[in-house]
Structure 1
Amino acid sequence: MVTLYGIKNCDSVKKARKWLDAHDVDYRFHDFRSDGINAQQVDGWLAALGWETLVNKRSTTWKQLSETTRNAMDTKLAASVLLEQPTLIKRPLLDSGKGLSVGFKDSDYQQLFT
C-alpha cells in the first residue's frame, strides 16, 4: 500500500494528497504529528535516502537548530534529531511500495503512478 507521510497543514503535502485523490491512487496518510514516527522508520528512511535528502535544510526547524548541531549533522545525529523533531523531515515523504521519494512534483508522481 502507498503511504504518504507529512503534516496535514503543509502546502506540499496538500498538493500531493490532491494529486493522489484526483488520480484515484489508494493511499494512507500518516501525519508525523498525530501518528508519530519510530526509530525503525527513521533508520529505514535514512538508509534508503541518506540524511542529506531526508533532512529539510530550508525549514524553520533546521534554522532553529544550533549551529553546532547543523555543522555536526550526520546519519546518526539525524536519526535522533528527526525523532525529536519530525517536522525536520522533507515533505511529503512518499512510500510507493516500490521505493521512497521526498517532495512533490506532478511529473514525478505521474511517472510513479501511470
Structure 2
Amino acid sequence: MTTLTVYGIPTCDTCKKAIKALEGAGHDVTFRDIRADPLSASEWDRFIGQFGDRLVNRASTTYRGLSDWMKASDAEEQLAAHPTLMKRPVIETEERLYLGWDSGVQAAFLE
C-alpha cells in the first residue's frame, strides 16, 4: 500500500488509534514523536501553510492554560512555544498532508 508518516506524541490516544488502523489496512507507517524529534522551521511552515489555525488544538488542556496574550498570538507563535498544541495526528503521504483522524481522513486510507 502506501508509506505514511504520522506526526504526534506517543501518549496521544488518537495517534495510537490511527496508527493501529493504518497498519491494519496494510499501510507502512512511520511514527514521528514531535517531542523527541521536533519539527524544523520549514516543516512547521509547511504544516501551517496547509492547515493554518486549524493546526492548533483549541480543545486541549494545554491551550486552555495559555495566557490571554498567547491565545491572541498566531498559530506559528503558539506552536513554537508549545509544540504539543498541534492537533494530532498529522499524516503525510507523498502527495499531501491530512489533519486529525475524523471520518474523512479515515475514508481516504481505510476504504
Give the TM-score normalised by the residue count of structure 1: 0.85
Question: Is 1:95 paired with 2:97?
Answer: no
Contact 1:19 1:106 survives alignment (8 Å) = no
User: Which whole-Å CA distance do the structure 1 matches of 2:46 and 2:55 have between them?
Assistant: 11
Q: Matched residues, percent identical?
A: 36
Off by >3 Å, runs of 4+ in structure 1: none
Corresponding residue for 1:25?
Answer: 27
Contact 1:39 1:79 survives alignment (8 Å) = no
Unaligned runs of 5+ in 1: none
The alignment's C-alpha RMSD in Å is 1.6
Question: Is 1:73 paired with 2:70?
Answer: no
Question: Match of 2:64, SS?
Answer: helix
Residues 68-100 of structure 1 show CA distances to partners (whole Å, capped at 9, x for unaligned) of 221x232xxx22321221110000111122221
Q: How many residues align?
A: 109
Question: Match of 1:35, SS?
Answer: coil
User: Where do residues 48-87 of structure 1 align in structure 2 (5 Å cutoff)?
Assistant: 48-51=50-53, 53-70=54-71, 72-74=72-74, 78-87=75-84
Unaligned runs of 5+ in 2: none
Give how far 1:48 is off: 1.0
Q: Which amino acid aligns with 2:73?
A: M
Corresponding residue for 1:105?
Answer: 102
Give the TM-score normalised by the residue count of structure 2: 0.87
> Which deviates more, 2-11 or 93-102?
93-102
User: Which whole-Å CA distance do the structure 1 matches of 2:104 and 2:50 have between them?
Assistant: 22
Q: Which has the higher helix share?
A: 1
